[in-house]
Structure 1
Amino acid sequence: MTIELLAPSLARLPFYADALRRGWSPDTVRKAAAATEQLERIAQDPVAFVAGLDDPEACGGPIPMPDGTTVPRLPGFQRWLWDGEFCGSINLRWQPGGAALPPHVLGHIGYSVVPWMQGRGHATRALALLLPEARAHGLPYVELTTNPDNIPSQRVILANGGRLVERFRKAAAYGEDEALRFRIDL
């Protein structure tokens, strides 16, 4: 099946929520905690939850960090991966006025494929589909980070023209773990 990137919708929200309940999380750092928070927000106000996933003006509230602190939200949006069923999500965030990101933001793009759909090329295709949208927002490049042992994610980035920029330590809010930063020129 062909992967599509779809704007989040109330019609497809049950599939997203089902993936969260099955142990998937769109947040590859905060994982289960983020999934639980999202399920609570969906239960409280599904309309507001879906609307908040498309926030190019950064109107939503602050973003919780893994260490419990919060930081201002950047403009951005999420798209759902769909091949006839929900497969995961990919998001784009940017800082107005340039490509540089604040130190607390690990990359312009983040993605996560549900475990039962991994290994089928969905992340590679989703990233390829998102790059023109990043270009349309005026970004000359995007940066993505991954852990050194996450070889599948590195393959996704490299297959889309990424090049390794640096090996670094994440900020204290992320536990100062080692990471790799890749850049894809647009």
Structure 2
Amino acid sequence: MKIVRPLEEHLPSFMAALEQGWSPDTTRGPEAAAEALEVVRRDPAKFLERAVDREAAGDPVKLPDGSVVPRIPGYNHWMWDGEFCGTIGFRWQPGGAALLPHVLGHIGYAVVPWKRRKGYATEALRQLLPIVAQEGLPYVEITCDPSNEPSIKVIETNGGVLIERFTKPAQFGGNPGLRYRIHFQEVA
């Protein structure tokens, strides 16, 4: 498995995953999957172009509570083993490592159900970290639910250190969360 920049040749496999009910948005689920499928069908070239959005020119981001916030810079990669396996993305706030309160972490990932438990998320994060390190941040933060043992393992295997237990903002339901930090000198 390798991470790849989304290309036109990958779109049919990505769309098939969406059509099977998988969602790249782990908080909004099927609604986000339907929206992504609509965007891809309407303008595939624009969808692919926005996979790398360093200027935050894309559409605003819809949060789980339905509120809408401005996009921040970011880019996405797809997990690929000959077919689409999932997504891993990076987002940041220009000027430093701090994030806006409604942005839970720098990195998010989601693996299609039929490819889980193969180590793909762990490997995708391992491959993404050197790319992200080139952005000049001293560290990245990744959050997950306390009950998400597979995600905890992915993060810790890649050098993540638990820095806090926190309550997610109201837009995300106010549920408990774990915040991990990965310093780049640790992944060099």
TM tier relative to shorter chain: over 0.9
Question: TM-score, normalising length from structure 2?
Answer: 0.96
Could you list the per-position Cα deviations for residues 114-159 of structure 1 after superposition, in whole angstroms to 9, with x for gaps in the alignment?
A: 1000000000000000001111011110100000100000000000
What CA distance in whole angstroms lies between the structure 1 residues aligned with 2:88 and 2:52? 12
Question: TM-score, normalising length from structure 1?
Answer: 0.97
What CA distance in whole angstroms lies between the structure 2 residues aligned with 1:28 and 1:65? 11
What CA distance in whole angstroms lies between the structure 2 residues aligned with 1:125 and 1:43? 30
Residue in structure 1 matched with residue 111 of structure 2 by the alignment: 113
What CA distance in whole angstroms lies between the structure 1 residues aligned with 2:121 and 2:65? 27
Aligned length: 184
Shift of 1:54: 1.2
What CA distance in whole angstroms lies between the structure 2 residues aligned with 1:23 and 1:130? 25
Shift of 1:63: 0.6
What CA distance in whole angstroms lies between the structure 2 residues aligned with 1:27 and 1:51? 19
What CA distance in whole angstroms lies between the structure 1 residues aligned with 2:156 and 2:117? 15
Q: 2:157 aligns with which of 153, 156, 159?
A: 159
Could you list the per-position Cα deviations for residues 82-140 of structure 1 after superposition, in whole angstroms to 9, with x for gaps in the alignment?
A: 11211101000011010000000000000011100000000000000000111101111
Q: Percent identity?
A: 54
Residue in structure 2 matched with residue 80 of structure 1 by the alignment: 78
Secondary structure of the residue aligned to 2:150 is: helix
Q: 1:39 aligns with which of 28, 31, 37?
A: 37
Residue in structure 1 matched with residue 130 of structure 2 by the alignment: 132
| 1:99 has 2:62 as partner | no
Runs of 4+ in 1 over 6 A off after TM superposition: none
What CA distance in whole angstroms lies between the structure 1 residues aligned with 2:43 and 2:176? 37
Whichever residue aligns with residue 114 of structure 1, its letter is: V
Residue in structure 2 matched with residue 143 of structure 1 by the alignment: 141
What CA distance in whole angstroms lies between the structure 1 residues aligned with 2:131 and 2:25? 21
Shift of 1:18: 0.5
Alignment RMSD (CA, Å): 0.7
Unaligned runs of 5+ in 1: none
Shift of 1:42: 1.2
